Structure 1
């Protein structure tokens, strides 16, 4: 059922707008407001984080436990599908990159900087730095919005996938700095293994030698942020040169996008083999 759920989620994501409907964070945001509004939780951020993440995860686990014994588990398939769709990344990367790509292709770096700050929340001291920041965000959003979610769903099921998404939402949206910091610590632990599997996948579908050279020294370091590893290894695996202007700069983004597509295909094949032989 795992491969079927992943396949259905990808088809729905590509062909419909249902993901935007499913990804309604309103109930969780209201829970966050109530938790952060309680004075007695201000000095106990771990408890607040448990209410924001562990409580919804436990409710999902109870619901799954009630559905799994019925109809050989097929009644739980819609719930698996809804949870996986909810856990995928927010927004549409291609649409959001469109204005930046247009400005960069024209060679209007000032407009590209304004668009990058407005649409992507990025800023840099110079044009090459801005392009590197866009590349890093493209890689990070692909990891956080797809690869890490699929990794934890396939490995541990929808409960782990939901925990990862709620941690990501807490890091991004929580107003309490203490809660954000603790959510970031847990999310770093959740990111550690899938990002390294993703980097190994880059090596298999890209420049193997360059990717291994870029990640070898930091591969097992616990403290290296996942975002930094992706920014260092992704361009090397895509065999990119130094950032450049105009169409050549856009070609860098296209090369990274192609690398991510090839990696997705590799993961689909790996998931299918995982399901067949286990």
Structure 2
């Protein structure tokens, strides 16, 4: 069922991205989650026991546990299976995206093609959240952000969906939402770090298969099993190495185009691995 849910979710993704529908952004909106956090603060914020790790359990773990229980309680019978499949697809589409780098960077690529450096810097800053001190640094920052955004918005969601079911995908996304708003506590940071440490390394293997394996291995050598090396750091090393040194075009942002192309090939490989795992019965759902 995991494979079927992923196929349907990907088809929905292609439809929304192809039609540039604003409905896609609404499907991935985190408004409900932060409304839930406000409700918790209003209800328990003044309680002495509502502190530290227990607060984070309520904020992040509890919704994921409830989703897990829901799927375990209603997994028998044809009608129940159809309903559960629909809920899986809804959760996947909700936790995916919402936008692909190729769409987010349209303005950036256009500015680079027109030699409008100032506009390119502004678009790059919006995308990466960084101030670049040179064009080379800007291009590298955009490349790293492409790898991270595709990983965190798609690959890791799919991996944790396969490993822990819809609850895993939702848990990762909720942690990411809090991390992006700098609201993640120490307990949540450890869970988020662990989830990215594993998922990003699994994805790094697909980049090795999709690109220059020798260079990718050389860049990540000795760091793959190092607990002190974050998933983001390892993925950037391996993915950048897997691009090799030559690109299909000679434009200033050729590395950025190459990063998107490499990520697309890695995504195909990841989906193929998930398909095989599903047929062998190795998936959670």
* Same topology, TM > 0.5: yes
Separation of aligned partners in 2, 1:170 and 1:256: 27
Q: Which residue of 2 aligns with 1:271?
A: 274
Q: Which residue of 2 aligns with 1:45?
A: 52
Separation of aligned partners in 2, 1:20 and 1:86: 9
**How many residues get paired?**
272
Which of 230-239 and 132-141 deviates more?
Answer: 230-239
SS at match of 1:272: helix
Q: Which residue of 1 aligns with 2:206?
A: 201
Q: Which residue of 2 aligns with 1:137?
A: 145
Separation of aligned partners in 2, 1:51 and 1:35: 8
- Aligned counterparts, 1:107-146, within 5 A: 107-146=115-154
Separation of aligned partners in 2, 1:70 and 1:20: 33
SS at match of 1:213: helix
Distance 1:137 1:238, change over 3 A: same
Task: Check the 8 A contact 1:23/1:86 in 2, yes or no.
Answer: yes
Matched, 1:261 2:268: no
Once the 2 structures are TM-superposed, how far is the Cα of residue 96 of structure 1 from its aligned partner? 1.7
Q: TM-score, structure 2 length as denominator?
A: 0.87
Cα RMSD after superposing both structures: 2.3
- Aligned counterparts, 1:172-251, within 5 A: 172-173=180-181, 175=183, 179-240=184-245, 248-251=251-254
Query: Cα deviation per residue 1:33-72 (whole Å; 9 max; x = unaligned)?
Result: 2344514369822122111111211221232123212327
Q: Which residue of 2 aligns with 1:152?
A: 160
Query: Cα deviation per residue 1:85-118 (whole Å; 9 max; x = unaligned)?
Result: 1111333422221111122223333322222223
Unaligned runs of 5+ in 2: none
Q: TM-score, structure 1 length as denominator?
A: 0.89
- Identify which of 60, 63, 66 aligns with 1:56: 63
SS at match of 2:279: helix
Which of 227-236 and 211-220 deviates more?
Answer: 227-236
Separation of aligned partners in 1, 2:125 and 2:213: 34
